[in-house]
Structure 1
Amino acid sequence: MESLSRFFWFCSGVHQQTLQKYPTEHQKYVGIGATIFFTALFAALSGGYAMYFVFKGDSFAVLFALFFGIIWGLAIFNMDRYIVSSINKSGSAFKQTIQALPRILLAVMIGLVISRPLELKIFDKEIRERLKVSYLNNQRAKIDTLNKTFQKKYELEFRQLQQNSALQDSLTSGIQQDRKKLNFEVFGTKTQETSGQMGYGPYAKRKEAELQQRQRELDSVQSAVQKLQGFMDDRKQFDGMRTEKLFTGKELDSLASIAGFADRNWALGRLSFNTDGTKDENTALAVTFIGLLFIFFECLPVFVKLMSATGPYDKAIKNLEDSQVHESNKKREFEIAVTDGVQDTKIASVTAQKKQFWNEYPAK
């Protein structure tokens, strides 16, 4: 426990030789140091996780993540340690707050940077589902855009195909009706358009000739429709429209699993909204509170230092700093005095030499 306490003292940035003289202050700085240490640990995990997604798929992704996580954690540890240790407890509460305000803003920025990758991991399942919806909508929009472009490009051919298809449907329906009338005439079924006499008479022959003529027209129209459809199919193949299809469930799972950091970060931001664009209050609150939790955790060492009363250790450090400043000033004054004395001695020596010269060689 003593070694662990000394380690946390080191994390808090205290002067351990001075702190050892005041046992009542030990636990306070153990708590501050532990908070700084675990903040740096979360930062290392966050940075490593973010770097893992940057190099995901690479054989050295884990090594890169470990290396960057350690470097990032040490950097955050060093900044937090400096922020806490640089707060001067000798001033008033207002002065301490003003002094700590830039450090709190820096801590907030660090908390935002730390929290984002961890939020990506916490909401991993929801992010995957949102990415699937996004990929599917994007693919559908892409296919719709291609279809609109294709239809605009071959507008004349599409119009001819629609007209021929409508004529084909009309001729098919008319032939079916004429064949039905011909059967009624042959079998003697009495209607407004048949004679009611059984047998293959002149009326039946005329109907059959009309039916054959319409059939020839239908064959000609069907041939034109088939040619146009073949042409359109070839154009679709040439323009790459045959290869564009909606993603299957398996393909969506694969795309979501290899999504990069930017896509996942976008999806995390969109979790606060439903797919129809309305606000999802529950998810938005969850994401916000988790982010605020990490920000508060990052600011906690500064708040603890501000909220703690001025203890004997703080007064001892203030006295030690004052004595060091006083000793430094005295040393500086002594150095200046010595320098001035040496200069005065040199001046006196030169003056004596001049007097001796003029005494030996008086001016003529």
Structure 2
Amino acid sequence: MNKLNRFFWFCSGAHIATLEKYPTEQNKYTGIGATIFFTGLFAALSGGYAMYFVFKGDNLAVVFAIIFGFLWGAAIFNMDRYIVASINKSASTNKQLLQATPRILLAIMIGMVISRPIELKIFDKEIKERLKVSYLNGQRAKIDTLNKAFENKYQVEFGRLNQQRATRDSLEKGIKADRQKLNFEIFGNKTAETSGVMGYGPYAKRKEAEIKQREAELDSLKANISKSENFVDKRKEFDGLFAEKLYTKPQLDSLSNVAGFADRNWALGQLKFNVDGSRDDNTAIAVTFIGLLFIFFECLPVFVKLMSARGPYDFATADTDEVSVYQSKKDKDFHIEVADNIHETRVDSESSKQKEIIKGKAYRDLERYDWDQEKA
């Protein structure tokens, strides 16, 4: 437990040698350090999970996820440790809040980044189902677009084919009505168009001949329709429309399993809405509160440091800092004084040398003057 406590003290950014002197402060920094450590741990898991989906399908996906997860967790851990350790408890409350404001904003951003990949894992099943719906709707829309483009391309042929089909339907309907009238005439059913006399008489023979003629026309029309449909099918095959089909269930499962990070992130955002476009408040609240939970967890060490009263450890570290600053200034002044003394010594030395030079020059001038006088 002692080693674990010292590790969490290190995580909190506290000066361990000073903290050991004040037992009443140790639990507070153990809690702060543990929060920072687990935040870095969650960041490592989050970053590794996100990187795994980026390289999913690659043989080295797990290796990349582990490496990136470790680096990302270490970066977040170091940043959180610096954020908490840099809050100066010796300052006034307003100054502490001013110092903490950019750190809290940074903590909120870190919490949002950390929470997203973990939310993807929590809602994994729901995300896959929403992706299946999206892929199926996308494929259906693609097929509809291709069909519309094909119909516009062969608008004349489709117009002729639709007209032939309408004529065929009309002929079939007329033949069916005439055959019913023929049956009424043969079996003696009295109507406005039948005689009511049972038997195969002249009217029945004439009606049957008309029906056969119209059936021949119908057969010829069906043959033309079949030719037109064969032409359209060949053009569809040539343009690749038959190759586009709706995804089957195994295909949708495979696509959702290999979906990338961007698709899954989009699907997570779409979980706040139902398939019909209405808002799903339950899922929206769940996703929002999970994100807020990680944001609060990320900001918690800063809040604890701000809310905690200034204890003996804070006074001791403040005194140590003041002593260090005083000693640094004293050392600086000492070095400046030494430098000034050296400079003055050099100046004095140079002045003495200059005086000797001037004095020697004066002696030589005097000797030269005396010699000149003697010579004269």
CA distance in 1, matches of 2:135, 2:288: 25
Could you say what the CA RMSD is over the residues aligned between the two structures, in angstroms?
1.9
CA positional deviation for 1:152: 1.8
CA positional deviation for 1:38: 0.6
CA positional deviation for 1:204: 4.7
CA distance in 1, matches of 2:303, 2:197: 108
Moved more, 238-247 or 159-168: 238-247
Specify whether residues 159 and 12 from structure 1 end up closer, same or farther in structure 2 by C-alpha distance, changes over 3 A only.
same
TM-score in terms of structure 2 length? 0.91
Specify the alignment match of 1:282 in structure 2: 282
- Count the aligned residue pairs: 364
What per-residue deviation string (whole Å, max 9, x for no partner) do you get for residues 63-82 of structure 1? Answer: 11111111111111100111
Specify whether residues 284 and 180 from structure 1 end up closer, same or farther in structure 2 by C-alpha distance, changes over 3 A only.
closer
Unaligned runs of 5+ in 2: 370-376
CA distance in 2, matches of 1:124, 1:158: 46
Percentage of pairs with the same residue: 66
CA distance in 1, matches of 2:107, 2:188: 99
Specify the alignment match of 2:372 in structure 1: none
Moved more, 198-207 or 147-156: 198-207
Specify whether residues 154 and 323 from structure 1 end up closer, same or farther in structure 2 by C-alpha distance, changes over 3 A only.
same
Specify the alignment match of 1:237 in structure 2: 237
Q: SS of the residue aligned with 2:243? A: coil
CA distance in 2, matches of 1:199, 1:287: 81
Specify the alignment match of 1:29 in structure 2: 29
Specify the alignment match of 1:359 in structure 2: 359
CA distance in 2, matches of 1:267, 1:48: 20
Specify the alignment match of 1:257 in structure 2: 257
CA distance in 1, matches of 2:237, 2:224: 20
CA positional deviation for 1:188: 6.4
Structure 1 residues 334-353: aligned runs within 5 Å: 334-353=334-353
CA positional deviation for 1:89: 0.4
Specify the alignment match of 1:294 in structure 2: 294
CA positional deviation for 1:199: 6.6
Specify whether residues 92 and 244 from structure 1 end up closer, same or farther in structure 2 by C-alpha distance, changes over 3 A only.
same
CA distance in 1, matches of 2:282, 2:178: 66
Amino acid of the structure 2 residue aligned with 1:102: P
Amino acid of the structure 2 residue aligned with 1:115: S
Q: SS of the residue aligned with 2:87? A: coil
CA distance in 1, matches of 2:56, 2:82: 34
Amino acid of the structure 1 residue aligned with 2:176: Q
Specify the alignment match of 1:77 in structure 2: 77
Specify the alignment match of 1:332 in structure 2: 332
What per-residue deviation string (whole Å, max 9, x for no partner) do you get for residues 202-230 of structure 1? Answer: 54554444333323321221111111111
What per-residue deviation string (whole Å, max 9, x for no partner) do you get for residues 163-199 of structure 1? Answer: 1111112222323344444555566666544556677
Specify the alignment match of 2:315 in structure 1: 315
Amino acid of the structure 2 residue aligned with 1:151: E
Moved more, 291-300 or 327-336: 327-336
Specify the alignment match of 2:221 in structure 1: 221
CA positional deviation for 1:162: 1.3
CA distance in 1, matches of 2:302, 2:318: 19
Specify the alignment match of 1:164 in structure 2: 164
CA distance in 1, matches of 2:278, 2:203: 69
Specify the alignment match of 2:152 in structure 1: 152
- Rg larger for: 2
What per-residue deviation string (whole Å, max 9, x for no partner) do you get for residues 92-127 of structure 1? Answer: 111111111111111111101100000111111111
Q: SS of the residue aligned with 1:147? A: helix
Specify whether residues 91 and 185 from structure 1 end up closer, same or farther in structure 2 by C-alpha distance, changes over 3 A only.
closer
Structure 1 residues 60-139: aligned runs within 5 Å: 60-139=60-139
Specify the alignment match of 1:305 in structure 2: 305
TM-score in terms of structure 1 length? 0.94
